[in-house]
């Protein structure tokens, strides 16, 4: 039987296997952190699974007020460790914590315009405008390379994004001039929006730009950078775009993920008159 000698070896083993299986850096970091927390609380489970310990661990997180999504990730990491690293059958089934069904926060066109008007830096303004205009995640914006922009075809190529998938999305015509300036003098593999040192911008830095701009406005919504992507999907849906095309633009594997925007579009609702 394969045995792990200490927590450090356990974390190294799960790191190596996740990399071999081509998991994303974010997932690897998350799984390692989850496993480290579990083994710190229950070191006796280093080599043998104990359902009561796992239940106690998950319950303690629930009582601490952690979100169902966070609890689920911990459970997934623990299952991966025992099944894939220790090759132990996970003979019990624990139901995943129910995630609350919340509608995404949508910004109106005028609200997005307000946010953009509060950004003075041209590069930052272009990045946030592009996130909305093309429906991009923050990770996709900072990972864009000059070669991803196809001006003749009017499209953006997004490579190896969430789920290791490639996709094509639209290039907003209004941003064409700024993007042409951004690619000028760069090789296809250079970052489209590089940091001052020439490397990759951090996701956090552009998220902070968005947050500061949002707080400078009178918009009273709990919006995040990802709200730009939600707003893109909702607005193109309201323009009459077929939902299956929107699914492709966003890179959703399941049409049900895209269909949530039919619940937040106000175009049809606003046309209905209240009986009051």
Active-site annotation, residues: 137, 162, 226, 229, 252, 261
Alpha-carbon gap, residue 125 to 117, rounded angstroms? 8
- For residues 140 and 158, the answer to whether their CB atoms sit within 8 Å is yes
- For residues 134 and 227, the answer to whether their CB atoms sit within 8 Å is no
Rounded to 5 degrees, φ, ψ at 89 are: -65, 130
Query: DSSP string spanning the chain?
Result: -----SHHHHHHHHHHHHHHTT--HHHHHHHHHHHHHHHHH-GGGSSS--HHHHHHHHHHHHHTT--HHHHHHHHHHHHHIIIIIS-----S--PPPPPP--PPP---HHHHHHHHHT---HHHHHHHHHHHHHT--HHHHHH-BGGGEETTTTEEEE-S-TTS--EEEE--GGGHHHHHHHHTT--TTSBTTB-TTSSBPPHHHHHHHHHHHHHTS---S---TTHHHHHHHHHHHHTT--HHHHHHHHT-SSHHHHTTHHHH--TTGGGSPP--
């Amino acid at each position: 039987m394969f045995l792990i000698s200490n927590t450090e070896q356990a974390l190294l083993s799960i790191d190596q296997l996740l990399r071999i299986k081509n998991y994303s850096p974010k997932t690897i970091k998350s799984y390692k952190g989850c496993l480290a927390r579990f083994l710190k609380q229950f070191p006796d489970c280093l080599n043998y699974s104990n359902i009561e310990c796992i239940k106690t661990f998950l319950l303690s997180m629930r009582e601490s007020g952690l979100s169902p999504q966070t609890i689920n990730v911990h459970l997934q990491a623990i299952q991966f460790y025992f099944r894939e690293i220790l090759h132990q059958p996970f003979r019990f089934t624990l139901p995943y914590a129910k995630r609350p069904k919340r509608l995404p926060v949508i910004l109106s066109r005028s609200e997005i315009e307000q946010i953009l008007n509060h950004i003075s830096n041209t590069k930052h303004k272009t990045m946030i405008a592009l996130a909305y205009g093309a429906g991009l995640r923050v990770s996709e914006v900072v990972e864009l390379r000059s070669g991803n922009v196809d001006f003749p075809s009017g499209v953006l190529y997004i490579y190896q994004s969430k789920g290791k998938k490639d996709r094509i999305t639209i290039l907003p015509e209004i941003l064409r001039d700024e993007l042409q300036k951004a690619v000028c003098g760069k090789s296809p593999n250079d970052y489209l929006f590089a940091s001052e040192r020439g490397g990759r911008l951090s996701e956090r830095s552009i998220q902070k730009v968005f947050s500061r701009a949002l707080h400078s406005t009178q918009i009273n919504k709990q919006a995040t950078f990802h709200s730009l992507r939600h707003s893109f999907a909702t607005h193109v849906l309201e323009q009459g775009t077929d939902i299956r095309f929107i699914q492709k633009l966003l890179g959703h594997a399941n049409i049900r993920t895209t269909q949530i925007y039919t619940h937040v579009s106000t175009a049809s609702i606003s046309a209905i008159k209240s009986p009051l």
